[in-house]
Chain A
Amino acid sequence: MPKAVKLALLLAPAFGLVVVMMSLVIWRAVAQSFGLYNFNGEDLLSLRHWAEMFATRRYWNALEWSAYVATTSALITLAIAYPLALWLRKPFAGSYLLSALLKAPYFVPGLVAVFLLLNVIAFHGIVNQALMWLGLTDRPIRLQNDRNGYGLIALQVWKQLPLAFLLLQGAVQAIPDPVLNAARDLGAGPVARFRKVVLPLTARAMQAASILIFINVAGDFTFQATVGPTRENSLATLMVQYQGTNYGDWNAAAVVGVTLMGLSLVGAVVFTALVQGLTRAMERA
């Protein structure tokens, strides 16, 4: 058997399957957003579905909300995970248990996390009781589906923290001690060592973590549908509404779906630029 044929046969079952299925899915989304595969009428290549969507307020609100929640969650998660990873670089008494606990949310499925949170923040839940006991409030506060989405963002950060922590911990622990010692011997203080050694060497991990968190959160349906503010939609919940039984408008859903893929791409580009810009600015400063 020629080598090329053998290679193709080896790659077909997994690599081939992924390429075929994923291209079909992406093509389907793009094609339906431009009016092809229309289940409610004739296929007609047109910009009509995009134009209709651009005139819909709900669409822009959902786009804005998804971008806002994803950006805030990514920034807060990094702001918590990065110092923790630096702090736990060298093992000390109790650091292993703490690292293990930080990774625990990774084991908890999203829907279970939602249930646990709903339980804790319920009207007569433990958080409200504690607030009343501490005298911070005399009546229980409505914490579920709060209007500002604090509960939603908190849950996202909780769920994404293990990913950020794992990536950053790997990068921080990979910095060789001699490099840091050399910097110290050359007279670099803690701040300078962080700026000129640690930050550049962890930039790639930070970039990867921020992009993955942004994409994960931007595509969220479950958390928004259960603990998010009831008057907001994420792009995913809006897409499912259009596709679902009430509308059955697959073309509109496709416009929202393609927008979501676009938002993920834009997020990846922006966070790459942000991390690289930050690293360069800190090195020069």
Chain B
Amino acid sequence: MWTLPRLQTLLASLLTAVFLLWLIVPFAMALLWSLVDPGTPWSYPDILPPALSFERWTLMWETTTLSTAMFNSYTLAPVAAVTAIVLAAPTAYAFARIDFPGKAAAQIVTLTPLVLPGFVTAVFFASILVSFGVYSRYGAILLGHVVLFIPYAVRILTVSFAQVNQEVINAARDLGASGWGVFRAAFWPVLKPGVLASFLIVFILSIEEFALAFIVGSPSFTTIPTILFSYLGYDFIRPNAAVVALILVVPNVLLMLVLERLLQSANPANVSGKG
């Protein structure tokens, strides 16, 4: 007889299978498309590509601006992440350890970059750049990414700073530790997972960010998302888009999995348990 738990499990496995197919099939197709040999096109009614090679990957690397775009993205993201952390830390400290009137409101206001439509921010940020005569695309996009993603760093670091144990700070001071010593003994062990998590989230979001990079950067300054967009538009070049899509998604998914782990280990019970 069908019992409720068995029915539940059956339904769950069915849905799981559907979702897995729904994820695996498109990714497998993307991978196949990126490996289609440019000399022997894959067209209807072939079910699988007639010839596979890494030709497309080397071709893309040598003949398109992909390498420049990757250089731009991967030099922007770490700088944006470090800048965001350095700027976020003092504010997070204040949010976590100082009581002041209007704190709750200030914390909400810090989140505005997250709710303002991305393209509105991008277009009118570009408008301000025009007025001020700022022509450095790298610097402009860097500033934009720091402002857009600093809310995440502030939030994560606020939680971290709140977990720092006042008694450990006092003990370090009583034992004659200098400011730096107190930081190393009492703050850093507790802050470390939060700092790493902030770095990763800003890094990932910066790599993925499209609106600002597109409005401010195009046409001269390309990043991985803007180059992918150009292959999705009216000149849809499927194998090229497949290569760029994989370059964009695979490293970020791996980093996201690391991030999940870190956010779990930033759990107060794990961190402050040591005292």
Contacts and interface: CB of A to CB of B under 8 A. Distances in A.
Interface string A35-65: 0010100000000000000000000000000
A219 B112 contact: no
B147 interface: yes
Q: Bin chain B's interface residue count.
A: 35 or more
Contact of B30 (A7, A94, A115): A115
A109 interface: yes
Interface stretch (A95-103, A175-183, A188-196, A199-207): A95-103
Nearest to A9: B90
A109 B249 contact: yes
A22 interface: yes
Given A107-B256, A115-B242, A21 B147 contact: yes
A247 B233 CA distance: 20
Contact of B90 (A11, A98, A104, A219): A11
B25 A120 contact: yes
A97 B16 contact: yes
B236 interface: yes
- Give the dominant DSSP class at B's interface: helix
Interface string B17-35: 0011001011101100100
A172 B260 CA distance: 21
16 contacts: A14-B91, A18-B113, A25-B121, A37-B127, A97-B16, A98-B12, A104-B23, A108-B249, A109-B208, A111-B245, A115-B242, A124-B45, A221-B119, A222-B229, A239-B123, A260-B117
Interface of B: 5, 8-9, 12-13, 15-16, 19-20, 23, 25-27, 29-30, 33, 43-45, 86-88, 90-94, 98, 100, 106, 109-110, 112-113, 115-121, 123-128, 130-131, 146-147, 150-151, 153-154, 208, 210-211, 215, 225, 228-229, 232-233, 236, 238, 241-242, 245, 248-249, 252-253, 256
